[in-house]
Amino acid sequence: MTLDDRLQNVAILGAAGKMGSGIGVLIAEEMAKLKLKPENKDKLYTLTMIDVNEKALDGLRSYTTAQLTKRGEKGTVQLRHVYGHRKDLIENADIINQFVQDSTSVCTYATDLSAAKKAHLVFEAIVENERIKIKVYKRLKKICADTTLFLTNTSSIPISYIDKHADLNGRLLGYHFYNPPVIQKLVEVIAADATISELKKIGEELGARLRKRLVPANDVSGFIGNGHFIRDGLYALKKIDELKGKFRFPGAMYIMNKVTQEFLVRPMGIFQLIDYVGIDVFQCILKVMRTHLSDAALRSKLVDKMVKFKVTGGQYTDGSQKDGFLKYEKNRPVGVYNIRSKDYFMINDRWKKSIDAKVGDLPEGYAPWKSLLMNPKKEEALKKHFDSLKRMDTFGAGLALDFLKRTKAIGQKLVSDGVADSPELVNEVLTNGFYWLYGPINEYV
């Protein structure tokens, strides 16, 4: 069965979630393009969006329409070619509306897993819990045909483990989209030893059609992306314990977030990133990796406390940031959680100036991540930044260089442990999936 055949009937599990909703938009668009081809005019296309939350499915309808409209607006030139045979569609708005209508017409919504019965291809983007995933896959095996293929968006659970315990006989491929899937170009692809060659080929062709950058990772818990991010986060959490005696907890948190964002020229500080992912999700991934790697060090008492206090970060349905380690206004940090008082210490100018003075100045000629993102000479600018950093004798520079060395060591160990086949693949995941300007395995330190 070709990819075109499989795209006639697709199901998405966890369709109303952050990842499932984005995957749904991408697949709906691809199915609509197939449906519009003259040779497919008599074929039926069905995309079944399945989620346990019926209310969330209502919101998914609006989200899907809004995202498809945005994609139509950005791809008007291509759509004019697709709808070239429609002489009644003159204005761009007419073409975009027709594209949205054709894309959403393939979508159906359900709360019952049995709705996936006729799917030729199933995308799973449910909670990152191996027990629940395996239970769902066992049901799917009974419900779906023996020829159905499965793509899991797991970001940490070994594919071989799910495949074996759900008895899928190699019909499972790790296909880890990055958030949000509609925008992010990166997909980590993880095959188990048992994964059948047909599914591997389907994954490759699908990635090309969706214009994604596919990066292979080996089937080791956490893979490349979370294998690095989780350990990066744990190192930052460890530094909090070291610094809080001198700077108190809010000061330590502020310093490490500042150092990892500004001194290391990243799009956001490490604690902003953990908040974005979700502290509860971070905890969940820690548990998965700790279990499958038998590494007791993959634990954080602070993360456990935050989840216990139900301060977990994540995003609201409109995409705005929920409070986590940091408090946000218009997605900008304005406060730091105080673990002792269980409320937020609000950042004020006087306090900020005092802490910044102790951290020390940024390197001479510093330019933030955003200004360097599209700079054709960003590599030259980064080299100057880190050369300057190495000449500095300030507290902040020392913290930054230590973090840079640790980040590099984490990346190198992913290669030596066989998680990634090369340093280039580690760098590719971090630069594309996390929007870093440079890979962790570099010559800056």
pLDDT attached to residue 83: 87
pLDDT attached to residue 104: 95
Position 239 pLDDT exceeds 80: yes
Write down the mean pLDDT value for the chain.
96
Mean pLDDT of all residues in 209-218: 97
pLDDT attached to residue 224: 98
Task: End-to-end CA distance of the chain: give it in Å, rounded.
Answer: 50
Position 237 pLDDT exceeds 90: yes
307 HSE (CA, 13 A, CB side): 15
Mean pLDDT of all residues in 375-400: 96
Mean pLDDT of all residues in 406-435: 98
Q: Could you tell me how many helices (H) and strands (E) the chain has, helices first?
A: 17, 11
Task: For residue 263, give every residue at least 6 positions away whose Cβ sits within 8 Å of its Cβ, in sequence order, or none.
Answer: 362, 363, 389, 396, 397, 399, 400
Identity at 263, one-letter amino acid code: F
Task: For residue 258, give every residue at least 6 positions away whose Cβ sits within 8 Å of its Cβ, in sequence order, or none.
Answer: 269, 356, 359, 396
Rounded Cα distance, 222 and 155, in Å:
6
Closest CA to 215 of 163, 178, 267: 178
- pLDDT band of 87, cuts 50, 70, 90: confident
> Tens digits of per-residue pLDDT, 121-148?
999 999 999 999 999 999 999 999 999 9
pLDDT attached to residue 304: 97
- pLDDT band of 159, cuts 50, 70, 90: very high
Mean pLDDT of all residues in 85-112: 92
437 with 251: CB under 8 angstroms?
no
Parse the chain into domains and list their residue ranges: 3-216, 225-433
pLDDT attached to residue 84: 82
pLDDT attached to residue 90: 82
Lowest mean pLDDT of 80-89, 204-213, 224-233, 363-372, name the range. 80-89
pLDDT attached to residue 416: 98
Percent of the chain with pLDDT over 70: 100
CATH architecture of the domain with range 3-216: 3-Layer(aba) Sandwich (3.40)
Mean pLDDT of all residues in 100-126: 96
Position 89 pLDDT exceeds 90: no
> Tens digits of per-residue pLDDT, 343-379?
999 999 999 999 999 999 999 999 999 999 999 999 9
Position 2 pLDDT exceeds 90: yes
> Tens digits of per-residue pLDDT, 256-275?
999 999 999 999 999 999 99
CATH superfamily of 225-433: N-(1-d-carboxylethyl)-l-norvaline Dehydrogenase; domain 2 (1.10.1040.10)
Mean pLDDT of all residues in 428-433: 97
The SS3 call for residue 210 is: coil
Lowest mean pLDDT of 160-174, 305-319, 370-384, name the range. 305-319
- pLDDT band of 317, cuts 50, 70, 90: confident
Mean pLDDT of all residues in 217-223: 98
pLDDT attached to residue 78: 87
